[in-house]
Amino acid sequence: MATCHSLRVVDDELLGDPLDVKMFEFTGWSYEEGGNARRSQEDGGYDETITPSVARPPAGYSDAESREVVPPDFDEILSGYTHRGYRVIACAAKYERKLSWMKVQKMSRSDAESGLEFLGFIVFENKLKSNTATVISELKQANIRNVMCTGDNILTAVSVARECRLIDPDTRCYIPHFKKGDSLDAEASLGWESIDDPSFTLDGNTLMPATPVDSSIPYVDHNKDKYCVAVSGDVFRWLVDFGSEELLKRVLVRGQVFARMSPDEKHELVEKLQSLDYCCGFCGDGANDCGALKAADVGISLSDAEASVAAPFTSRVFDISCVPKVIK
């Protein structure tokens, strides 16, 4: 953490975006304004004085070469938090004893992000707004389909979707994984497993349940049509670039949650749904949603920041209660 661009010290108090402040305080490091550095004509074409803001490690911090350290229970703990609907950020750092201005300028991203030491998780709980479930229920009663499109972790997104009844309690949810290859491999293949019980699977070609259901067991999923899928951005990208048209269409129809979606992928999802003759509305509150808000038949911004510029509608009340009103 050589520089913290959104943080400033004013009257000995660290100020800035509250999330950035909390993340920085979590490290135990100190923050210093100033520390003059010179840049010569040879470096930048002219002579000037630069005063970077520098983060310093706490006393006793080892200046030995940092190494990658990931605890053995990393995946287990992460999965536990995300399954319960928490947002999780993993923090890692390394200490460069002699980090000059020139070295920072020449450092590549891969250099800066290698050899890191894991510090811990920052865990957030975003509570549902009080009227979210009610509005989603109203839309479902009107046979208006609800789909979540988010940049969040897929397990977090599914947990929130269940909490607000976007996914019904008796609906089994399947998520994909790459059995072979990755999102850049045209020859890759996908496997689909139930998020709650990996023994329940979907056929990778037809997206139909591949696991036979024992009718003697009193389980809510006897109706094989009562299921949905949740897809991450890398899988969506592969389906668009390399998957069969039929499989992509089935995912678009069965997809209830699209997670870890980039701004471009959100935009493309809207266009793909429209290609199936859906009239598609989109709600968003950030710069990442601008493309999708523009592409949608009806875009509603739930913020008066960047998203409001891209959307034809902006709600003064920043929740989805406006959606039925716009439809009416």
What pLDDT shows up at residue 106?
Answer: 87
Q: Tell me whether residue 3 is in a domain.
A: no
Please indicate, yes or no, whether residues 273 and 300 belong to a single structural domain of this protein.
yes
Which residue, of 97, 124, 151, is where some domain finishes? 124
Buried b (16+ CB within 10 A) or exposed e, 53-68: bbbebeeeeeeeebee
Residue with the two structure tokens 């949740």: 230
Q: Tell me whether residue 303 is in a domain.
A: yes
Least confident of 85-99, 166-180, 289-303: 85-99
Closest CA to 31 of 11, 2, 61: 2
Please indicate, yes or no, whether residues 146 and 294 belong to a single structural domain of this protein.
yes
Please indicate, yes or no, whether residues 306 and 190 belong to a single structural domain of this protein.
yes
Q: Tell me whether residue 61 is in a domain.
A: yes
Which residue, of 124, 155, 174, is where some domain finishes? 124
User: For 241-264, what is the mean pLDDT?
Assistant: 96
**Angstrom distance (rounded) from CA 117 to CA 1:** 12
**Angstrom distance (rounded) from CA 160 to CA 164:** 6
Strands 30-32 and 54-56: antiparallel
Q: Positive or negative CA dihedral for 161, 167, 170, 175?
A: negative
Which residue, of 124, 152, 176, is where some domain finishes? 124
What pLDDT shows up at residue 42?
Answer: 43
Which range of residues forms the domain containing residue 112?
Answer: 8-124
Residue 22 has pLDDT above 70, yes or no: yes
Please indicate, yes or no, whether residues 143 and 160 belong to a single structural domain of this protein.
yes
Question: Tokens representing 70?
Answer: 């990931």
E strand or H helix at 326: helix 322-327
Closest CA to 272 of 284, 260, 258, 286: 258
Cα–Cα distances (Å) from 263 to 152, 292, 293, in that order, read: 12, 7, 10
Buried b (16+ CB within 10 A) or exposed e, 276-314: eeeebbbbbbeebbbbbbebbebbbbbbeebbbebbebb
pLDDT 10s digits, 31-80: 766 544 344 444 444 344 434 455 566 666 554 444 557 888 998 999 88
Closest CA to 121 of 153, 96, 148, 149: 153
pLDDT 10s digits, 267-311: 999 999 999 999 999 999 888 899 999 999 999 999 888 788 889
**Angstrom distance (rounded) from CA 101 to CA 105:** 6
Residue 6 has pLDDT above 80, yes or no: no
Distance of CA 258 to the CA centre of its chain: 10
Please indicate, yes or no, whether residues 144 and 257 belong to a single structural domain of this protein.
yes
Please indicate, yes or no, whether residues 183 and 269 belong to a single structural domain of this protein.
yes
Please indicate, yes or no, whether residues 102 and 239 belong to a single structural domain of this protein.
no
Q: How many domains does the chain have?
A: 2
Query: Which has more confidence, 67 or 238?
Result: 238
**Angstrom distance (rounded) from CA 318 to CA 195:** 31
Residue 242 has pLDDT above 60, yes or no: yes
**Angstrom distance (rounded) from CA 107 to CA 116:** 15
Closest CA to 18 of 128, 117, 122, 155: 122
pLDDT 10s digits, 119-140: 889 898 878 889 999 999 999 9
pLDDT 10s digits, 140-160: 999 999 999 999 889 989 999
Q: Tell me whether residue 182 is in a domain.
A: yes
Q: Tell me whether residue 99 is in a domain.
A: yes
CATH number of the domain residue 287 falls in: 3.40.50.1000
User: pTM value?
Assistant: 0.70
Asked if 116 and 301 touch (Cβ cutoff 8 Å), the reply is: no
Helix (H/G/I), strand (E/B), else coil: 251: helix
The string of DSSP letters for 17-68 reads -HHHHHHHHHHT-EEE----EEE-HHHHSS-EEE---EEEPPTT---SPP--
What pLDDT shows up at residue 70?
Answer: 80
Please indicate, yes or no, whether residues 151 and 284 belong to a single structural domain of this protein.
yes
Please indicate, yes or no, whether residues 176 and 281 belong to a single structural domain of this protein.
yes
Average pLDDT of the residues of the chain: 83
